């Protein structure tokens, strides 16, 4: 089954992708990208 069949798995994967995309070359996470992930997933889904 795909992550489309599992909303929690899809939310977790989206969070992983947002963190990976927002991580600077020095390893710092961009807080603005995390805000976007929280807005997309809802506060509960972004935790």
Q: What is the pLDDT along the chain (47 residues), one digit of tens a residue?
A: 455 567 888 878 877 877 777 766 677 777 777 787 778 777 555 44
DSSP designation for 29: B
Give this prediction's pTM: 0.43
21 to 1, 38, 46: CA distances (angstroms): 25, 14, 15
Say what the pLDDT of residue 4 is: 55
Tally of domains within the chain: 1
The residue segments making up the domain with residue 9 are: 3-45
What is the length of the chain? 47
């Amino acid at each position: 089954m795909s992550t489309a069949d599992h909303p929690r798995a899809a939310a977790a994967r989206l969070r992983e992708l947002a963190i990976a995309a927002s991580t600077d070359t020095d390893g710092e996470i961009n807080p603005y990208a995390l805000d976007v992930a929280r807005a997309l997933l809802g506060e509960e889904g972004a935790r």
